[in-house]
Amino acid sequence: MLSAHALTRDFGERRAVDRVDLTVRPGRITGFVGANGAGKTTTMRMLMGVLGPSSGEVRWHGRPATAEDRRGFGYMPEERGLYPRMKLAEQLAFFARLHGAGRSEARARAGELLEFFDLGDRADDLLDSLSLGNQQRVQIAAALVHRPTALVLDEPFSGLDPHAVDAMLELLQREAGEIPVLFSSHQLDLVERICDDVVVLAGGRVVSAGSVDDLRSQETPSYRVEVVGHDAGWVRDLAGVRVDSIDASVVRLRLAGLPPAELVPALAARGGVLEVTRVRPSLSEIFREVTR
Ligand SMILES: Nc1ncnc2c1ncn2[C@@H]1O[C@H](COP(=O)(O)OP(=O)(O)OP(=O)(O)O)[C@@H](O)[C@H]1O
């Protein structure tokens, strides 16, 4: 289990990460989300030990994480960091050897990962001859080369086409069966698809954390209402509700004081109603709600 405890980082006067607590459990995929500049990369760098905290602590299995512990982690940094003019297979074998693999074991592992990412026939190509999405696949392969004990991935999905996204999802699910996996992403639909847990950061602070289902259940329920006629504007006059949007005859609203059982009668007393549906909030909606 990888965890952060009151992890804080200042850059001069500016506090980029502010007393962040988070836990990444084995067997679960944790998504790390937040607007640009929220502090995700800075937190991940501290988890990996490439940046020291101003205060707070990173723990591995409940005790302070050491350099040795971190050598076991797989990391995909935001700035990436492979050698553009090195052949793919050579490059991956090189990283495997840095982690202590013997020559033939390193070569075999490089070949296996390139096959997995459909790059087996590009083994002798230079990294910078690949498309950006394929370079991204090699970045992930490099993070996996030493069979890591935990994975920390900074935006692994950015720039990937849908096939590569699917391959990445499959891979993360497979890896997360055994080890803690934390990844940051702005693609909330993907986070929703595969994450068990989510940590939402805003202005350097954790504003929400837990399983996707828990976050959903904390959210104020939202309703879709379709009224008779072309203008549902009158719904705004209802007491005890907050209207999120109106599009002709369709309204999205939340209850703000009105008990759920009174919504339909209150609507019907004011106008013609065709349908009222309770809507399960998407992660994007939850994100907007908790970060606003
Ligand atoms: N080396 C640095 N020196 C000064 N300020 C920094 C440094 N690194 C990050 N920051 C600041 O810390 C804040 C958090 O940045 P960070 O890159 O961690 O955010 P992020 O959530 O990863 O953003 P994005 O989604 O855009 O990648 C930003 O205001 C950024 O400008």
Q: What is the pLDDT of residues 239-279, one digit of tens each?
A: 999 999 999 999 999 999 999 999 999 999 999 999 999 99
In whole angstroms, what separates CA 162 from the centre of its chain?
A: 17
Instruction: Tell me which residue of 185, 176, 163, 152 sits closest to 44, measured CA to CA.
Output: 152
Q: What is the mean pLDDT of residues 176-187?
A: 89
CA of 61 to the centre of ligand 1 (A): 27
> What pLDDT is recorded for position 233?
94
Provide the 10 A C-beta neighbour count for residue 265.
9
What is the atom index within ligand 1 of the atom nearest the CA of 155? 27
Does the Cβ of 52 fall within 6 Å of ligand 1? no
For a ligand 1 pocket test, name from 42, 45, 153, 157 the mutation site with the most ligand atoms within 8 angstroms of its C-beta.
42
Q: Whose CA is nearest to atom 8 of ligand 1?
A: 42
> What are the tens digits of pLDDT across the range 113-153?
999 888 999 999 999 999 888 898 899 899 999 999 999 99
Provide the pLDDT confidence category of residue 185 given band limits of 50, 70 and 90. Answer: very high
> What pLDDT is recorded for position 80?
77
Residue 73 has pLDDT above 90, yes or no: yes
Residues 92, 144: Cα–Cα separation, whole Å: 10
Provide the pLDDT confidence category of residue 158 given band limits of 50, 70 and 90. Answer: confident
> What pLDDT is recorded for position 216?
81
Provide the pLDDT confidence category of residue 97 given band limits of 50, 70 and 90. Answer: very high
CA of 36 to the centre of ligand 1 (A): 8
Cβ atoms of 222 and 285 within 8 Å: the answer is: yes
Question: 64: Cβ–Cβ under 8 A, 6 or more apart, which residues?
Answer: 57, 58
Residue 220 has pLDDT above 80, yes or no: no
Q: Which two tokens stand for residue 261?
A: 């059982």
Residue 288 has pLDDT above 90, yes or no: no
Residue 204 has pLDDT above 80, yes or no: yes
Residues 182, 175: Cα–Cα separation, whole Å: 11
Cβ atoms of 74 and 2 within 8 Å: the answer is: no
Q: Whose CA is nearest to atom 12 of ligand 1?
A: 16
Provide the pLDDT confidence category of residue 86 given band limits of 50, 70 and 90. Answer: very high
What is the atom index within ligand 1 of the atom nearest the CA of 78? 27
* 235 CB-side CA count, 13 A: 33
- What is the share, in percent, of the chain residues with pLDDT greater than 70? 100
Residue 160 has pLDDT above 90, yes or no: no
Q: Which two tokens stand for residue 70?
A: 């971190």
> What are the tens digits of pLDDT across the range 27-43?
889 999 999 999 999 99
Q: Which amino acid is at 23?
A: T
Query: DSSP class of residue 235?
Result: G
CA of 108 to the centre of ligand 1 (A): 38
Q: Which amino acid is at 231?
A: D
Instruction: Tell me which residue of 7, 6, 98, 99 sits closest to 47, measured CA to CA.
Output: 7
> What pLDDT is recorded for position 81?
80
> What pLDDT is recorded for position 280?
83
Chain position carrying tokens 């459909």: 118
For a ligand 1 pocket test, name from 8, 10, 11 the mutation site with the most ligand atoms within 8 angstroms of its C-beta.
11
> What pLDDT is recorded for position 11?
97
Residue 219 has pLDDT above 80, yes or no: no
What is the atom index within ligand 1 of the atom nearest the CA of 38? 21
Does the Cβ of 41 fall within 6 Å of ligand 1? yes
Q: What is the mean pLDDT of residues 56-78?
A: 95
- What is the share, in percent, of the chain residues with pLDDT greater than 90? 73
Does the Cβ of 136 fall within 6 Å of ligand 1? no
Residues 19, 5: Cα–Cα separation, whole Å: 7
What is the atom index within ligand 1 of the atom nearest the CA of 201? 21
Decide which of 165 and 32 is more confident.
Answer: 32
Instruction: Tell me which residue of 195, 170, 174 sits closest to 183, measured CA to CA.
Output: 195
Residue 203 has pLDDT above 90, yes or no: yes
Give the 3-state secondary structure of residue 102.
coil
pLDDT averaged over every residue in the chain: 92
Does the Cβ of 16 fall within 6 Å of ligand 1? yes
